[in-house]
Amino acid sequence: MPTPKAYSVKAYSAASATAPLAGTTISRREPTETDVQIRIQYCGVCHSDLHYARDEWHFTQFPAVPGHEIIGQVTAVGSAVTKFKVGDIAGVGCLVDSCRTCPDCQAGLEQFCTSMVMTYGSSDKHLGGPTHGGYSQSITVAEDFVLKIPANLDPAAAAPRLCAGITTFSPLHHWKVGKGQKVGVVGLGGLGHMGVKFAHALGAHVVLFTTSAGKADDAKRLGADEVVLSKDEAQMAKHANSFDFILDTVAATHDLNAYLNLLKRDGNLTLVGAPEKPLPVAAFPLIFRRRSLNGSLIGGLPETQEMLDFCGKHNITADIEMIKMEEINTAYERMLKSDVKYRFVIDMASL
């Protein structure tokens, strides 16, 4: 593939796992005929951004520019682009390309394609080096990986749908969560608060597990029917053997066995949280009552569109706290203290 022309944009990057994020300049490609160029207006702050910037998953390519909840305005389109025109509001989530031909891509499950290109942290096949995320002024993405965002939405509050939204919607959808089911969501952060909203909208009886007593009222406002303080063993014991499904969004080390014990026979615990260190699992909570433990990774493009439509129908959007780009390091520290209500979104005009 010939190297396309590049242009420079301002961005925020981490130079190493221990360096705070700081201003820099990166290259973006001029749109090829199938590309959409977007001026980034808002970018959500996912805990994955922090894991990546601090190399907690051990694949970070520095300098690291995180950000995969991107909303902006289309500034140019390639000659073969049909879905977008200049001026449209567009979204980009965690994926910017895939092979498009493997069985996963054919099934619309691009997130499982072994050649998928993540918005940040993959190899950039156009310009070389790592792909760079949304903590930047502009991005150029293949049309097929750009999502249409209805113009009537608050674009800042729509940004977190592109990772937190699809990551929680996809497993609830896949496991057919709905009316008559008791569903748990563990952790009320960016993912968790979207998970509570979706599970409630799907008609489930929703129980939120939190380590933060102060979040109980918010959890109920967001759609939880019950709130359990997970550190309180007596509260946890009351729910033993009673859940159809539990979605675990926790970003740090915690006890999975405590949640497995809350599942009914054949119940299912799905991990979306991706802590740095392995989580020990005991055999007995799984083999007694034939319970399952599994995971889920974001969602493919068709399901992301379905999630956006579901959000439109049920009026689901994120609860956000807007920050300036220069506040990102403080925001990361607050995220580590579970002090986010419930998603930071960067106003990219501040870059």
Residues forming the site for ligand NAP (CB under 6 A)? 46-48, 51, 163-164, 167, 187-192, 210-212, 215, 249-252, 254, 272-275, 296-298, 335, 338, 340
Q: Which is nearer to ligand NAP, 204 or 228 (CB)?
A: 228
Q: What angle do CA 77, 81, 86 make, to 5 degrees?
A: 35
Residue nearest ligand NAP by beta-carbon distance: 189
How is residue 84 annotated by DSSP?
-
3-state secondary structure labels for all residues of 176-235: CCCCCCEEEEECCCHHHHHHHHHHHHCCCEEEEEECCHHHHHHHHHHCCCEEEECCCHHH
Q: Which lies closer to Zn ion via its Cβ, residue 31 or residue 67?
A: 67
Which lies closer to ligand NAP via its Cβ, residue 113 or residue 191? 191
| Of 121 and 189, CB closest to ligand NAP | 189
Picking from 66, 75, 84, the residue whose alpha carbon sits closest to that of residue 144 is 84
Residue with tokens 């092979």: 99
The CB-of-79 to Zn ion minimum distance in angstroms stands at: 25
CB closer to ligand NAP out of 13 and 296: 296
Q: Please report, as ranges, the residues that interact with Zn ion according to CB under 5 A.
A: 46, 48, 98-99, 102, 105, 113, 163
In angstroms, what is the minimal distance from the CB of 336 to ligand NAP? Answer: 7
Q: How many residues does the chain have?
A: 351
Q: Sign of dihedral through CA atoms 252, 256, 262, 267?
A: positive
User: Pick from ligand NAP, Zn ion, none: which does 340 bind, CB < 5 to 8 A by kind?
Assistant: ligand NAP
Query: Taking CB within 5 to 8 Å according to partner kind, which of Zn ion, ligand NAP, none is near residue 261?
Result: none
CB of 220 to ligand NAP, least distance (A): 13
Taking the complex as a whole, how short is the minimal distance between the CB of residue 270 and ligand NAP, in angstroms? Answer: 9
Q: Which does 76 bind (CB under 5 to 8 A by kind): Zn ion, ligand NAP, none?
A: none
Least distance to ligand NAP from the beta carbon of 85, Å? 30
Out of ligand NAP, Zn ion, none, which partner does residue 102 contact, by CB within 5 to 8 A per kind?
Answer: Zn ion
Q: Which is nearer to ligand NAP, 191 or 325 (CB)?
A: 191
Shortest CB 178 distance to ligand NAP, Å: 22
Answer with the entry of Zn ion, ligand NAP, none that 113 interacts with (C-beta below 5 to 8 A by kind).
Zn ion
Which residue is it, tokens 């925001």? 331
From ligand NAP, Zn ion, none, which one binds at residue 47 (CB under 5 to 8 Å depending on kind)? ligand NAP
187 binds, among Zn ion, ligand NAP, none (CB under 5 to 8 A by kind): ligand NAP
Distance of CA 130 to the CA centre of its chain: 20
Cβ pair 229, 211 in contact under 8 A: yes
* Alpha-carbon torsion, ordered 255, 242, 299, 61, to 10 deg: 0
Contact 278, 148 (CB under 8 A): no
Tell me how far CA of residue 54 lies from CA of 15, 114, 129, 278, in angstroms. Answer: 10, 24, 18, 17
Least spacing, CB of residue 349 vs ligand NAP, in Å: 23
Of residues 90 and 301, the one with the C-beta less far from Zn ion: 301
- What lies within 8 Å, CB to CB, of 256 at 6+ separation is 248, 269, 271, 279, 280, 281, 293
Binding site partner of 228, from Zn ion, ligand NAP, none, Cβ cut-off 5-8 A by kind? none
